[in-house]
Amino acid sequence: MSKQKIRVLTASFLAAAFITTAGFAIQGHVRAAQYRRLLDNGYLYAFSELTTAAGELETALTKVSHATSPALFASLCAQAYSKAQAAQTALGQLPYGNVELEQTAAFLARAGDYAMALTQGTSTDLVCSDEHRDTLRQLSQAAGQLSLTLETLQAQLNSGAIRPEDLKEAQNRLAAQDSDEQIPGGSAFQSVESDFPEVPTLIYDGPFSEHLDGRTPKMLEGLPQVTEEEARQAAASFLDLRPEVFTLTTRSEGNLPAYGFTALVDGGQLYIQVTCQGRQILELFTSRTAGTPTISRTDGCKKAADFLRAKGYSHMSPSYSMEQDGVLSVNFAPVENGIYCYPDLVKVSVALDTGDIVGFESAGYLTHHGHRDLPSPAVDAQTAQTLVDDSLTVLSHQLALIPTGGEYEVLCHEFKCQAQDGSHVLIYVNAQTGKQQHILLLLEDESGTLVI
């Protein structure tokens, strides 16, 4: 073959290679553009859903503020709660939406929960107070202003004036904020937060009520603040270990400020939190993987109960338990004068291969446990049972103190019932008013019982 032909063939092969490479590159760019469009379309849809739900929340809150019929008031409150939930769901689908739209996320959670909480006070005489109506009107106005801001952004998104960023861009910008690095531009979300309307202070019986912020847990009242070394000693004493094996890794704030220590124990890393006030053990867990179970759940529950008793938790009775990956977690509640005090729950986890305690949670106990003047039931068990649906078979009864979601507690008759399909239901009837207070479903399988 002549040199001329070789050069021609070589040039042809190189040209073909370049064309093929260019083809793959173009195909890759086309595919990337398709992915970009799909991603943007997903974000656009989520933003559209957020905008729509915010507008519908405003409408629902306005209607609630005018309702005087108890049935209609309750229905509209449920509607407002539903719209707030829909908005939160849409918000969660935006790139880092819950981080960048922190005020928006908090407002949606508070507004929906507040509306639903008001239904608890509904009666034939009064659906809500004038003060609550005024708060509802202010919430409606805030929702309206939020809706207008979102609609403006929606129009800009639809016209292409701005586009929703992808996760990488959001992540880079947030990382830059943490490191004080400047990145030009920024998220369109920032205008939502900077223009966020003034929101009324919400005081009600619910988890987002602002009167709960900064409340001192009952079990820590009057106890002194402790040093890091005193907290380390408490952690060591609780686990019968040497203090020097614990290393301080965190210092958390909030209603239960705590020191967080880690230690390497039995082939796994242990983490324990000790409250800054009163040096009480708040939480404990270990990364050690449990092996094949060698003890039964009954024995595991007994070990958990013995552990609590040894640590000074008296009159604790096991409630429900769940086994997962060889670890049995048991919820305990104190029993006072025959009344189960569910707000004071303590959870203990036991590794079923060794019987070691590998988990402990006491936030509920530290927050709520203390002296109580428990009232005598105004409604007896027989009368309360008439409130149980006829399709349910009552299996057992006991008195129980349950939380309302805020700072209050309600004494109830607890009826464990069996439904026609064999599943179990807990019906709570208020022992003072004789009205149904709460309903829980028990999801039971070979792992244990989950209460929802």
Per-residue pLDDT tens over the stretch 360-411: 999 889 988 988 888 899 999 999 999 998 999 999 999 999 887 666 789 9
34 band by pLDDT with thresholds 50, 70 and 90: very low
pLDDT, residue 170, reads 43
User: By three-state DSSP, how is residue 300 classified?
Assistant: helix
% pLDDT > 90, the chain: 33
Sequence-distant (≥ 6) Cβ neighbours of residue 324 within 8 angstroms: 447
- Alpha carbon distance 368, 45 (integer Å): 43
- The mean pLDDT of 287-301, rounded to a whole number, is 90
User: By three-state DSSP, how is residue 286 classified?
Assistant: strand
Give the amino acid at 126.
L
Q: Which of 35-49, 133-147, 190-204 has the lowest mean pLDDT?
A: 190-204
DSSP structural state of residue 374: P
328 band by pLDDT with thresholds 50, 70 and 90: very high
- Alpha carbon distance 335, 343 (integer Å): 11
Task: Indicate if the pLDDT at residue 297 is higher than 60.
Answer: yes
User: By three-state DSSP, how is residue 216 classified?
Assistant: coil
pLDDT, residue 111, reads 87
Are 278 and 220 within 8 A, CB to CB?
A: yes
**Higher per-residue pLDDT: 188 or 333:** 333
pLDDT, residue 199, reads 59
Please give the helix or strand (H or E) that residue 306 lies within, else none: helix 297-310
Are 403 and 367 within 8 A, CB to CB?
A: no
- The mean pLDDT of 116-144, rounded to a whole number, is 79
- Alpha carbon distance 158, 146 (integer Å): 18
Beta strands in 124-256 (DSSP E): 247-252
Tell me the two tokens of residue 327: 């670890």
pLDDT, residue 301, reads 95
Give residue for tokens 């539903």: 82
pLDDT, residue 216, reads 73
- Alpha carbon distance 318, 335 (integer Å): 10
322 band by pLDDT with thresholds 50, 70 and 90: confident
User: By three-state DSSP, how is residue 2 classified?
Assistant: coil
Query: Phi/psi of residue 211, each to 5°?
Result: -75, -10
Task: Indicate if the pLDDT at residue 181 is higher than 70.
Answer: no
% pLDDT > 70, the chain: 75
CA 19 vs. chain centroid, Å, equals 55
- The mean pLDDT of 356-360, rounded to a whole number, is 92
Q: Report how far apart, in Å, the C-alpha atoms of 109 and of each of 83, 114, 206, 235 are.
A: 11, 9, 11, 36
Are 425 and 441 within 8 A, CB to CB?
A: yes
Q: What mean pLDDT value characterizes the chain?
A: 79
pLDDT, residue 371, reads 87
- Alpha carbon distance 380, 141 (integer Å): 45
Are 46 and 39 within 8 A, CB to CB?
A: no
pLDDT, residue 49, reads 87
pLDDT, residue 347, reads 94
Q: Which of 46-50, 100-104, 119-123, 230-234 has the lowest mean pLDDT?
A: 119-123
pLDDT, residue 166, reads 43
Tell me the two tokens of residue 51: 């905008």
Which residue in 304, 223, 308, 242 sits closest to 261, CA to CA? 242
Q: Report how far apart, in Å, the C-alpha atoms of 274 and of each of 233, 265, 311 are.
A: 10, 18, 14
Could you give the domains of the chain?
A: 16-212 (no CATH), 224-368 (no CATH), 381-451 (3.10.450)
- Alpha carbon distance 149, 191 (integer Å): 8
- Alpha carbon distance 61, 113 (integer Å): 12
Q: Report how far apart, in Å, the C-alpha atoms of 58 and of each of 49, 63, 144 are.
A: 14, 9, 5
Sequence-distant (≥ 6) Cβ neighbours of residue 3 within 8 angstroms: none
- Alpha carbon distance 230, 299 (integer Å): 34
Task: Indicate if the pLDDT at residue 28 is higher than 70.
Answer: no
Strands 258-265 and 327-336: unpaired
Which residue in 258, 260, 238 sits closest to 247, CA to CA? 260
pLDDT, residue 93, reads 77
pLDDT, residue 104, reads 82
Task: Indicate if the pLDDT at residue 314 is higher than 60.
Answer: yes
pLDDT, residue 78, reads 87
Are 136 and 200 within 8 A, CB to CB?
A: no
How many CB atoms within 10 Å of residue 65? 19
pLDDT, residue 452, reads 60
pLDDT, residue 215, reads 64
